[in-house]
Chain A
Amino acid sequence: MLSTCVWFWLLGVPSEAWRFFLISTSVWLMLLSSESFLHALCWSVPYTIPALGLGVVMFGFNAVLAGFFIPISQLGWWYRWAYWVDPIALGTNINWVAAFTNTSWTPSPNFPTGLTGDQILGFFPQSEIRIWVNVIVLLSYIVVWQMVLFMFVRFAGLARK
């Protein structure tokens, strides 16, 4: 599938199996984490508009921590810790490794000597990415939010009795 994939070829990513499995697994875990969080959110805020608003705010906070818009090092300690409970940041950072490790980029006016994948990973302040730690944190995140959801389902509506 990799070698025949039109978009894969057009975008020029090295077609190696480990990259594909790393990318696809991290996407799956990231989407499952977000879904678990959103499902629990809908049980805690049972109105569509407030739930949507709160979800957008939470995704905004999470997106900031992914290190693309603002470097993590410029954030205060009171906000930086949230990186470890942010599924988007954790999933995205696994993808940086899969997309850039052992790649090389041709020279350009901004980078006369060209770029290597390791240099690109150095752009990100949190470039020392421990893939297994990220995966375990993502799995824990899913379990925790599913347990929160279970508690909501178990006890929601009891006060009306």
Chain B
Amino acid sequence: MRSTDFGDINHLNECVEAYPSSPAYARLMQELDAIGLAARVSQQLLSTKRRATTPTAVGFGRQYLSLLVRQVRTSVINPLSYSFRLAVTVGIMLFSATVWLTLGTRDSAQIYGYIAYLCGVLQFAALVGLAAVPQRVIQRAEAINQRSNSMYSAAAYVLANFTVDLLLLFVFRCVLCALAPSGC
């Protein structure tokens, strides 16, 4: 629905301008004041550049922690984000090692297979990062909506996501390197 769907745009503008001095607005502010949100909502309603100028309700640290917890939960619950990637990579790694390499030998006849194994496993580990694309796309839509309502800052969002990537990929690489250090 667009603003022109209401009919005469000039009439709509008059309504918007008159709204802050109306009894309805006073009642709304009174109710919001009771729950401590009056200042924030008032600023949002009257601002023309809403997201750029409206302060968030809580500080950066609180935003960061909340996003961090949410991102960890999302990543653990959704198998596509990390567990699927790890399982597939380890499966390919073990499959390749047992099928194409004679384990325990350092025969120069198998050097090409050995190099292919190292290269393939590494590149596959990076490639399966694509499995997280659907989740990222959904997160993007959510983040745009939530940031439109001034729930958190862009810096808090990026930092929280990066922290989770840092921690979970650390676990990821520990598992890979513990299972087949030569291969990863």
Check if B62 is an interface residue, CB within 8 A of chain A: no
A51 and B133 in contact (CB under 8 A), knowing A8-B181, A88-B122? yes
Neighbour of B136 across the interface among A11, A42, A107, A123, CB < 8 A: A42
A11 and B123 in contact (CB under 8 A), knowing A5-B178, A153-B157, A161-B51? no
The distance in angstroms between the C-alpha atoms of A63 and B33, with both chains bound, is: 59
Please give me the residue from chain B that is nearest to A47 by CB atom. Answer: B137
Query: For the complex, would chain A's binding face be called helix, strand, loop or mixed by DSSP majority?
Result: helix
Contact across chains for B115 and A123 when beta carbons are under 8 A apart? yes
**Listed A/B pairs (22) with beta-carbon separation below 8 Å:** A1-B178, A5-B179, A8-B180, A12-B182, A13-B181, A13-B182, A27-B176, A35-B169, A36-B165, A42-B140, A43-B136, A46-B140, A59-B123, A59-B127, A68-B116, A91-B126, A105-B107, A108-B107, A108-B109, A149-B158, A153-B154, A154-B154
The distance in angstroms between the C-alpha atoms of A92 and B119, with both chains bound, is: 7
A48 and B137 in contact (CB under 8 A), knowing A27-B176, A150-B154? yes
Provide the residues of chain B in CB contact with A66, threshold 8 Å. 119, 123
Please give me the residue from chain B that is nearest to A4 by CB atom. Answer: B178
B residues neighboring A (CB under 8 Å)? 49-52, 94, 97, 101, 103-109, 111, 115-116, 118-119, 122-123, 125-127, 129-130, 132-134, 136-137, 139-141, 143-144, 147-148, 154-155, 157-158, 161-162, 165-166, 169-170, 172-174, 176-184
The distance in angstroms between the C-alpha atoms of A59 and B169, with both chains bound, is: 19
A38 and B136 in contact (CB under 8 A), knowing A31-B173, A110-B109? yes
Provide the residues of chain B in CB contact with A161, threshold 8 Å. 49-51
Neighbour of A2 across the interface among B94, B118, B176, B181, CB < 8 A: B181
Contact across chains for B109 and A24 when beta carbons are under 8 A apart? no
The distance in angstroms between the C-alpha atoms of A96 and B157, with both chains bound, is: 36
Contact across chains for B123 and A92 when beta carbons are under 8 A apart? yes
Check if A18 is an interface residue, CB within 8 A of chain B: no
The minimal Cβ–Cβ distance linking B57 to chain A, given in whole angstroms, is 18
Knowing that A35-B165, A153-B158 touch, tell me 14 more A-B residue pairs with CB under 8 angstroms.
A7-B179, A11-B104, A30-B126, A31-B173, A32-B166, A34-B129, A38-B133, A39-B136, A59-B126, A111-B111, A120-B115, A146-B158, A153-B157, A157-B147
The minimal Cβ–Cβ distance linking B74 to chain A, given in whole angstroms, is 14
Please give me the residue from chain A that is nearest to B115 by CB atom. Answer: A68
A5 and B181 in contact (CB under 8 A), knowing A12-B105, A28-B169, A150-B158? yes
Contact across chains for B106 and A104 when beta carbons are under 8 A apart? yes
Provide the residues of chain A in CB contact with B141, threshold 8 Å. 46
Neighbour of B184 across the interface among A23, A56, A108, A158, CB < 8 A: A23
